[in-house]
Amino acid sequence: MSRKSISLYLIIASISFLSGCWSQKELNELAIISATSIDKNEEGQYVKTIQLINPSNVAGGLQGGGGGQSPAVTVYSVTGDSVLEAHFNASSKISRKLYHAHANLIVFSEEVAQEDGIEDVLDAFERDPEIRPTARVVIAHNTKAGDLLKSLTAVDKIPAEKVNGTLEFTEQYRGTNLEVTLQDVIKTLTSEGKEPVISGFSIKGDIEQGKKMDNILKSEQDTTLETDGLAIFKEGKLIDWYQEDMAKGVIWILDKIKQTDVELDRDGKKNAIVYNVIRQKTEVSADTKHDMPTITINVRAEGDIREVRTSINLKDPKVILELEKELEEKIKKLLEDTVMRTQQNKTDIFGFGEEVHRSNPEKWKKLKSDWNDNYFSNLNVEVKVEAFVRRSGLRTNSYFSEMKDK
Amino acid sequence: MFSFLKWKKKKKNSDNQQEKSPIQSTDKLSNNIETSLTLNLEVIKQRTGNSTDFVIRPVNLGQHPKVKTTIVYIKGLVDNQTVNDFLIEAMITNPTLQEQITQQEVVDMIVKDVVAVGGIKKLSDWDELFTELMSGNTIIFIEGISVALSVSTQGGERRSIQESTTNVSIRGSKEAFTESIGTNIAMVRRIINTPDLWIESMKIGKMTKTDVSIMYINGIARNEIIEEVRKRLKKIDIDGVLESGFIEQLIEDQTNTTFPTIHHTDRPDGVAGNLLEGRIAIFVNGTPFVLIVPALFIDFFQSPEDYYERFDISSAIRLLRTIIFFISLIGPAVYIAATTFQQEMIPTKLAIIIANQRESVPFPAFIEALIMEITFEILREAGIRMPKAIGSTISIVGALVIGQAAIQAGIVSPVMVIVVSMTAIASFATPSYAVAISARLVRFIFMFSAATFGFYGMILVFIILVVHLSSLRSFGVPYMTPLAPFIREEAEDTIVRRPLWGYKKRPKMISGRNKVKQGENQKPNPPQPRTMTNSANEKGD
CA distance B503 to B519: 9
Residue A11 lies in a domain: no
Q: Residue A186 is part of which domain span?
A: 26-242
Q: Give tens-digit pLDDT for A63-101.
A: 444 445 778 889 999 999 988 888 888 888 888 888 888
All residues of chain B having their beta carbon less than 8 Å from the beta carbon of residue A26 are 339-340, 358, 364-365
Q: What local confidence, expressed as pLDDT, does residue A312 receive?
A: 83
Prediction pTM value: 0.82
Domain boundary among A242, A260, A290: A242
Looking at the structure, do residues A293 and A372 belong to the same domain, yes or no? yes
* Domain co-membership, A253 together with A343: yes
Q: Is residue A286 domain-shared with residue A198, that is, in the same domain? A: no
Decide if B359 and A56 are in contact by the 8 Å CB cutoff: yes
Query: Is A372 within the bounds of a domain?
Result: yes
Same domain, A173 and A251: no
| Cβ distance of A58 and B364 shorter than 8 Å | no
Does the CB of A20 have a partner CB in chain B at under 8 Å?
Answer: yes
Q: pLDDT tens digits, residue range B267-279?
A: 999 999 999 999 9
pLDDT, residue B177, reads 94
Domain hosting B226: range is: 181-295
- Give B115 or A31, the one with higher predicted confidence: A31
* Rounded mean pLDDT, B519-523: 84
Question: Is A17 inside a domain boundary?
Answer: no
Query: Which of these three, B295, B324, B343, is where a domain ends?
Result: B295
Same-domain check for residues B107 and B187 = no
CA distance B402 to chain A (A): 16
Same domain, B49 and B126: yes
At A16 the pLDDT is: 60
Interchain contact, A63 vs B356, CB within 8 Å: yes
Domain boundary among B478, B494, B525: B478
Q: How far apart are CA A79 and CA A90, in angstroms?
A: 8
Answer with the one of B460, B478, B496 that is the final residue of a domain.
Answer: B478
> For B239-251, what is the mean pLDDT?
93
Same domain flag for B319 and B283: no
Whether residue B260 is found in the same domain as residue B380: no
Contact assessment for residue B284 and residue B210, using Cβ atoms and an 8 Å cutoff = yes
Residue B305 placed within a domain: no
Asked if the peptide bond before residue B288 counts as cis, ω within 30 degrees of 0, the response is no
Please give the backbone phi and psi of residue A360, each rounded to the nearest 5 degrees, phi first: -150, 85
**Cβ atoms of B132 and B123 closer than 8 Å:** yes
Q: pLDDT tens, position by position, for chain A (406 residues)?
A: 688 888 888 877 776 655 444 577 888 888 899 999 998 888 888 999 999 998 888 765 544 444 457 788 899 999 999 888 888 888 888 888 888 888 989 999 988 888 888 888 888 888 888 889 999 999 998 888 888 888 888 888 888 988 999 988 888 888 888 889 999 999 888 888 888 899 999 998 888 888 888 888 888 888 888 888 899 888 888 888 988 888 888 988 888 888 888 888 887 888 888 988 888 899 888 888 887 888 899 999 999 988 888 888 888 888 889 889 988 988 899 888 988 888 888 888 888 888 888 888 888 888 888 887 788 888 888 888 998 988 888 888 888 877 776 6
The reported pLDDT for the residue numbered B356 is 86
Residues B342 and B267 reside in one and the same domain = no
Give domain status of residue B328, yes or no: yes
- Whether residue B484 lies inside any domain: the answer is no
Closest chain A CA to residue B454 = A24
Judge if A318 and A249 occupy the same domain: yes
Distances in Å between the Cα of B373 and the Cα atoms of B23, B396, B462 are 52, 18, 20
Give yes or no for B537 touching A (CB within 8 A). Answer: no
Q: What does the pLDDT read at residue B531?
A: 63
Contact B358, A26 (CB under 8 A): yes
Identify the band that residue B4 occupies on the pLDDT scale cut at 50, 70 and 90. Answer: very low
CA distances from B319 to B169, B311, B323, B326, B327 (A): 18, 12, 6, 11, 13
Please tell me if residue B3 touches chain A, with a CB cutoff of 8 Å: no
Same domain? B237 vs B352? no
What distance in Å separates residue B293's CA from the closest CA in chain A? Answer: 25
How many structural domains compose chain B? Answer: 3
Summarised one tens digit per residue, pLDDT across range B389-398 is: 777 787 788 7
Residue A312 lies in a domain: yes
Give A 185-214 residues with CB within 8 A of chain B. none
Residues A151 and A217 in one domain: yes
A148 with A258, same domain: the answer is no
The answer on pLDDT for B467 being more than 70 is yes
pLDDT digits (tens, 9 = 90+) for B130-155: 888 888 889 988 888 888 888 888 88
Chain A contact for B414 (CB, 8 A cutoff) = yes
Q: In the predicted model, is pLDDT for residue B463 greater than 70?
A: yes
Same domain membership, residue A227 and residue A250: no
Check whether residue B52 and residue B112 sit in a common domain.
yes
Query: How far apart, in whole angstroms, are the C-alpha atoms of residue A190 and residue A193?
Result: 9
pLDDT tens track for B334-391: 999 999 988 888 998 888 888 888 888 888 889 999 988 998 888 888 888 888 777 7
B223 contact partners, CB below 8 Å, separation of at least 6: B512
Co-location of B387 and B251 in the same domain: no
Mean pLDDT of all residues belonging to chain B = 85
Question: How far is the C-alpha of B495 from the C-alpha of A406, rounded, in Å?
Answer: 73
Same domain, yes or no, for A226 and A261? no
Q: What is the pLDDT of residue B90?
A: 80
Note the pLDDT of residue A258.
87
The answer on B132 and B24 residing in a single domain is: yes
Answer yes or no: do B127 and B40 share one domain. yes
Distance from CA of A151 to the nearest CA of B (A): 20
CATH number where A298 lies = 3.30.300.210
Residue ending a domain, choose from A242, A257, A273: A242
Residue A293 shares a structural domain with residue A405 = yes
B372 and B335 within one domain = yes
Domain-terminating residue out of A209, A242, A275: A242
**Predicted pLDDT at B185:** 94
By the 8 A CB rule, do A105 and A91 touch?
Answer: no
Mutate to test the interface with B, among A26, A51, A136 (most CBs of B within 10 A): A26
Contact status, residue A318 vs residue A400, Cβ threshold 8 Å: no
Q: How confident is the model at residue B30 (pLDDT cuts 50, 70, 90)?
A: low
| A222 lies in the same domain as A263 | no
The four Cα atoms B108, B114, B118, B123 give a dihedral, to 10 degrees, of -40
What is the number of domains present in chain A?
2
Provide the ipTM. 0.82
Same domain? A44 vs A123: yes
Is the domain of B333 the same as that of B420? yes
Closest CA to A177 of A191, A163, A187: A163
At residue B445, the pLDDT reads 93
